[in-house]
Amino acid sequence: MLCVGLDPEPSRFPGAMRGDPRRIYDFCAAIVDATADLVCAFKPQIAYFAAHRAEDQLERLMQHMRTHAPQVPVILDAKRGDIGSTAEQYAKEAFERYGADAVTLSPFMGFDSVQPYLEYPGKGAFLLCRTSNPGGDDLQNQTLASVDGQPRLYEHVARLAQGPWNRNGQLGLVVGATYPAEIERVRALAPTVPLLIPGVGAQGGDAVATVRAGWRADGPIVVNSSRAILYASSGDDFAQAARAEAERTRALLEAARGVA
């Protein structure tokens, strides 16, 4: 159930790497090598690469993961969302340029903004549903008076992803570990779609409550932790420390599933 998020921030790199954006690949590859046998996915966040003009390092990292951890799917966290013709370019970027297995998307622009990603057989898209940040409330918790039953916006997204939008079983949903009650609600509405759940670790989400609310034998969950694992140590033992933190988080998730 554990996904390690790859959000490289050079100012937090250890030792001689600190502050050097040219070491983004080296840092992330070391984390990948140290944790690959513990995880069900890796999730590189594209902004952490693009902000440093390090897209070439992201390409190398994607290649590294394919070669050294071919069993681990890679979710490119890009949170895209645009009209169909532009979405086609974003889909090409995610699936052809970077070779990602899945991508994160904002569903705000509607089904035609999601459809181009679904043209890639075997690839997945996780739609933002109830995000981990406090401001997620501002729109996602609004009631839709025009829809039957007057659901909240995030509940409507969950229904669409479980039903009419999920034409080939390629959709999943993003729900924050910081709101377990809402994870439970999403699970009731979307019992079988995979849930990507960020927010454990640095954002303080409850790993045990997350698993109890979201995990089902026929409904997988992918629980992401980024900073708590990446920066578990600021010393030269950073990769070992990342592994230890990943083991600790994974054990918590597994224990919670035992009683789920």
| Shortest CB 74 distance to ligand OMP, Å | 13
Joined tokens for residue 237: 């033992």
| Shortest CB 84 distance to ligand OMP, Å | 22
* Residue 45 interacting with ligand OMP (CB under 6 A): yes
How is residue 36 annotated by DSSP? G
Which residues, 6 or more positions from 64, have their beta carbon under 8 angstroms from its beta carbon? Answer: 25, 29, 32
Instruction: Give the binding-site size for ligand OMP (rule: CB under 6 A).
Output: 19
Catalytic residue among 43, 79, 92, 123: 79
Choose the binding region for ligand OMP from 17-25, 179-187, 206-214, 222-230 (rule: CB under 6 A).
222-230
Q: Name the CA dihedral angle for 34, 37, 41, 42, rounded to a multiple of 10 degrees.
A: 10
Q: Name the CA dihedral angle for 108, 194, 48, 4, rounded to a multiple of 10 degrees.
A: 160
Please say which residue, 165 or 179, places its beta carbon nearer to ligand OMP. 179
123 carries an active-site annotation: no
| Shortest CB 146 distance to ligand OMP, Å | 25
* Residue 182 interacting with ligand OMP (CB under 6 A): no
Measured in degrees and rounded to the nearest 5, phi and psi for residue 141 equal -95, 5
Measured distance CA(178)–CA(168) in Å, rounded: 30
Position among 176, 180, 194, 214 found at the interface with ligand OMP (CB under 6 A):
176
* Residue 113 interacting with ligand OMP (CB under 6 A): no
* Residue 210 interacting with ligand OMP (CB under 6 A): no
| Shortest CB 201 distance to ligand OMP, Å | 5
* Residue 5 interacting with ligand OMP (CB under 6 A): yes
Measured distance CA(135)–CA(31) in Å, rounded: 30
Which residues, 6 or more positions from 140, have their beta carbon under 8 angstroms from its beta carbon? Answer: 129, 130, 131, 152, 153, 154, 157
Residues at the site binding ligand OMP, with contacts judged by CB under 6 A: 5, 7, 45, 77, 79, 104, 131-132, 174, 176, 198-199, 201-203, 224-227
Catalytic (active-site) positions: 79
